[in-house]
Structure 1
Amino acid sequence: MTFKLNAFSLALLLAGLATIYMSALILKRLGWTVRWFGILMLALAVWVLGYGAELASTTLEQMLFLIKVEYIGIALIPVIWMIFIIKFTGKEKWLHNKLLYLLFTPPLFTIILVWTNKWHHFHYTATKVDNSGPFPLLDITPGPWYYIFTGYFYMMLAWGIYLMLIRFRKADPIYQKQYKTILLSALVPWGINVMYLMDIRPLGHVDLTPYAFIITGFIISIGLLHFKLFDIIPIAREKVIEVMEEGVLVLDAFKRIIYMNAEMEHISARQSAVIIGEKIQALFPGHHPLQELVAQHVNGAVEITIPDEPENRYYEVKISPFFEKSVIYTGAILLFQDITDQKTAGLKLKQQAEELLALNQVKDKIFSVISHDMRTPLGNLWEILRLMDEEILTEEEFKSFIPLLHTNIGYTYDLLENLLHWSKSQLKGDIMRQTVFDLHTVAEKNNLFFETKAHKKGIQLLNEIPEQTKVFADAEMIHSSIRNLVTNAIKFCNNGDTIILSATTAPDFTTVCIQDTGVGIPPENLDKLMNQASFTTRGTENEQGTGLGFILCKDFIEKNGGRIWIESEVGQGSRFYFTLRTAPTTIYLPGGIANHPDNN
């Protein structure tokens, strides 16, 4: 290539280099919204440098090659301009794939047509060199696509200026000098280019549009150096908001999402490109208190829970609506602050307080039982023994007290055993020793233990639990539970009544039933039992209870993974049910796998 520099080409080449320098400055120092302006200036530099080289060329072939290079910048200027304006005016939600395809298709098609023009002449119908001036100039005859692309170029420029004018009217004073600078920068080259297209050409075929960008560069330079243009570009949105630890969500007047920062994307696990334009219900479908507060258009705060692994996350959402002219609601900004640590600590403190309260209640119950139920029979025993020791009672009189002493000591023994089991369990001192055992054998041992007592009251005890009914639980706890339930059944049965122990086995759980034909339980006492209230009722022969039996049973059954419930009708008897896990055919033990221990 050969070039013959002149004043016009030299001015453009210098301006192009200055534009590249300014573009590099913007791309290096400023945020992504402003970097699109840097890319715009880079496209302008391609045009300016290419046209400067064209003006220094002397052959048609070289001029046509350089105009192809120029069009790489010329064709991309309108689309880069629009992306910059859309981002600068806060309309990012528009930048979806369909719009980007629509914006980029005409420029790319134009570049292809310019580079292949010699085969179809659709962009330029004719080209030649005009040597009538002080230096050779390219003389072109526009084709159909030239006018189509020019219309597209001006439509993009006009659309951008329109968006800027709208934002200029609503902008805070601190931002208005930015909008003025950008508008002036856009209008200068546009006006020069309009003159060129209207054939108002003081220098003939020389296009003054690239020279106009020298003025644009000058204006931008003043903006950067004097006004520090873009230092206060909605940096609150692009810099400060993006690095905030809190999630930021901006809604329009119709509760549609128009902006969310990176932290908000993390909180919601949704990308802004996907959710922008959707209503807040799409982002938080089940959080009705949040949606209701947003709909009220008032300042406020609400707590929400967002499911997450390994645990839920808790957020305090502060809502600040904003109004135009103080009366027209235009949207709201929502600030999401993670309070999971505080919430978890609060829940832990609450749980510890509840546990401490429960332990205090256990302590109070233990001391209450000791001071009343155990003190009275032991006091009676001590008094009788004192009288006997002081020979106030005769041997015959002492023997008459033996049935009473037997009853009191038996009651005290039962009470002490239940009390020790229950208090140990409640104070977290009980160790679970779950094994596979035969429920029929446990029931048989209990029936033998109660045989004398049942025979004395004329009660029949039947064990209908099938042999080899294997369950997986703590055998001692289940033995204690059955013993308490059978004791209770005997207590409320009369002569001629029957107590039946039965069980139904299923793959997962075995259901045990202790049924009696006794006096039954009044509904109000049923409620007390299921609510674990400690109380006692005298039996059919004035037997005294401990008040802890059913509480102990419920606690033991639930610790073994089962549940317990009661069915009873006054005068018809009662049925106590509880479930235990059915023993698997293979169980896992520390150190390996063992077969079902039928032979244990």
Structure 2
Amino acid sequence: PFKIVERKPYLLYIIPLITLLLRLTDDFHHLVWSSSSTIRIYGVTMPLSRYGPWFWVFVSYSYSLVFAGSSMLLKEAISYSSLYKKKSLLIITAALLPIAFSFVYLSRICPFDLTPVSFSLSSFFAFIGIYKLRLIEIIPIARDRVIENMADAVMVFDEELRLIDLNRSAEKFISKRKDEVLGKSAMDLPIDTDILRILHSEKKRTCEKNGRFYDVAVQPVKDKKGNVIGKILIARDITDIKRYQNELEELNKHLEEKVKERTKEVWKLVKQKDDFIKQLGHDLKTPLTPIISLLPLIKEKVKDKELVRLLDIISRNVNYMKDLVTDTLSLAQLSTPSYKPKLEDLNLHDVVKESLIENEYLMKEKDIHPLNKIDTSIRVKADKLRLKEIFANLISNSVRYTPKGGWIEFSAKRVGDEVVIEVKDNGIGLTEEQKEKIFDEFYKADESRHDLSTSGLGLSICKKIVERHGGRIWAESEGIGKGTSIIFTLPAGEITKK
């Protein structure tokens, strides 16, 4: 009946309309009042009426509606929180008071009709509900509407794990209607053992049910004192997400296989390139060696100044070619995956000192003054030959672009597990663009750097060596004409006392 009324609420007005019509025409049929007279009670004249058959039909109908509404409200109130239970009880009390007073009067228990007084009491309870408990508010309605229409299954259990509420999605989740499962223990519900375990452990887990996957989580419901008075189970359908994850994993697996194949091909090409460069270097160095050895001998026997000048040009170009081949081979070796530096615990001050002695002839040609300001206690873990190669390249670079009478300064400091090394000069300096590209292979910043005395690979080799040691390298300069600092890091060695 309730579902019929819910679909067609106008049916509720049929009996009241009939009653109104019969009351207006009661003088002809007396179905509402069969007779009426007066009676004196305690000196007061009171009307005395005898009720007709339709009067009792209407009273029964009215009582039925009130009791039906109250029972529905009471049933729903069981699952509400304490605040909403109070509101529900106030509504039920306010509705039943007029019925109770009316029943007392109609049953002749009391000769006075106190029904109007009961409405005053009902109004009092309504006042308490509206102003004290906020009876008329949208929050509970909105909350119920949101929860009821959620895609997630929501099930509410009391402290004894009896189901006291669930939404539509939960009905689908357990394949049961609400009225079939309310009040049942969790053990009696058609839910899997895994979900029961989650309900007891309150740990989030993924479960499979009827071929679909759910993320199931349980939250305890606590009162003001922190006591657990119930639990809320939420199950989210993640079947589509799971499917997308599986598809993504398959795609990633396929891509990884492709990457492995491509990487294998790339390393094969890299090896072929390295082998080619090594062979090419060997083939180029073989004819250059006798030429470099013979040119000074030929120059000694030649008296013609023009021929001597030409021999000097040939010698410079041959030496440039030799340096280019040497640097190219060095860079190729540093680029191979198999290369590993031979690490030693080195005194940085001593390594710089040795490098300055080995490159002294370069600095003397331009009267460059070296300054070794590195503390003798600083040590690094590095390949000594490669470290000296870095300093040789940096000294050569600084000498080349520093004016006569200039200086080169070496300094270092330990920062945590690494040593920061700086090689600074008062040379021609760098622009912002040049600082970013100066370590690129064969890069020469401007026309002042475009000469045959350098291969353009020196700083690239320095970068490779530093990176192979797990360090970083960069350039700093305040601008053109303000000098350059090349700064790099290396792993720190053992700390020694002065």
| TM-score, normalising length: structure 2 | 0.48
Q: Whose relative contact order is higher, 1 or 2, with alpha carbons under 8 Å and at least 6 apart?
A: 2
| TM-score, normalising length: structure 1 | 0.41
Larger Cα Rg: Structure 1 or Structure 2? 2
